[in-house]
Amino acid sequence: MFKKIKNMLVIILVLLLTMPTHVFAANNIKVILDGKDVSANVFAQVSNGEVLVSATDIYGALGAITTYNRDTQKLTIKYGQYWYLSDMPNHKDSYNNTINEFTIGKNEYDTIMYESKGTAYHFIKWLASPPSIIDNNIMLSAKDFVGLLDYEVNWDATTKTLLLSKKWNYISITPWYSELNYLLEYNPNIQNMVTGETYPSTYISTPPSTISTGSTQNFSAITAPNIYYDKQNWIPDFGKITGAKLVYQELLYDDDLSGFYMYDIMSGQSGDIEKYIGSLKDTGFYYDVNANQFFKDHFDGIVYVKNDYWVGMSIEDNYLVVMILYIPEFN
């Protein structure tokens, strides 16, 4: 059984990695991000004289987690930032996680920041242009990335070239820092940068272990539970989430993160798969129609996607197989 599953996963990877995956963006707009041509992967369009860029594409190119709720029309973007400050007097390097939440048609958006030193901030800010949907892409005005990412944005209408580059060399956008996930339990007061108001968070109550200091909360030392795979340490581990017994695991290649894990589902409880799917969604994975259509041609199961990684699940006999596949640029 193990060999059969491995062979099938290798076939899937070969098929996917040899498929044509992208077409150039509308209007043949050339997008240069930090000196790299990402035109093939970033949808951009000029509308009413304004350059619009797919938010999920541009943030995805930077390693961010993007999820969209069609019911609420809210786009949530999660990413990390690393600050190289140790060369400055009386400073040391630091890092944080940031969540931006946008709503289609609204200029107002939320930014929540969780810092490595244990502080958190929640701001309400304002976009120059509200997010819109074009050809199933959630679009933001290019000029808004000046404030969103501290990027310089330049548009050459003659050559139809959009240049986005870091304004400060000491700040880098990074993937989400899972070790700061424990801070998600805490919510600071909200500072509305539009109206100047400050008011308590309405999300969840402040835990007793926090000490409120105005708009910032300082936290006592709390150890974040490790719910991730050791090798793929940003992907929730089915066994750690549910307690199911791991009976076999294998990576497809020594230098690759694609592989599979087999669990004895008889050792777990009913509802374990739903619980695991909930954990995937909480960490930014989402159900992709195209990915599932392809996956179901080979396995009887379901797959969730985040950036370039697929997490598939299929029941084989009395075992649940969790498959992790690295599929760059599928959509």
* Dihedral angle computed from the Cα positions of residues 42, 48, 49 and 50, in that order, rounded to the nearest 10 degrees: -40
Report pLDDT digits (tens) over 278-312. 888 777 777 777 778 777 777 778 888 877 788 98
Ranking 12-16, 94-98, 110-114 by mean pLDDT, the lowest is: 12-16
- Across the beta sheet with 132-134, the strand order is 44-47, 50-54, 137-141, 132-134
pLDDT at 328: 66
pLDDT band, residue 256 (cuts 50/70/90): low
- Listed by start position, the domains of the chain span 2-11+225-326, 55-129+168-219
Report pLDDT digits (tens) over 121-169. 999 999 989 999 887 788 999 999 988 988 999 999 999 999 999 988 8
Task: Report the C-alpha gap between 310 and 22 in whole angstroms.
Answer: 18
Task: Report the C-alpha gap between 132 and 149 in whole angstroms.
Answer: 19
Amino acid at 81: Q
The DSSP annotation for 47-100 comes to ETTEEEEEHHHHHHHTT-EEEEETTTTEEEEEEEEEE--TTSTT---EEEEEEE
First to last CA, the chain: 30
* H or E element at residue 230: none
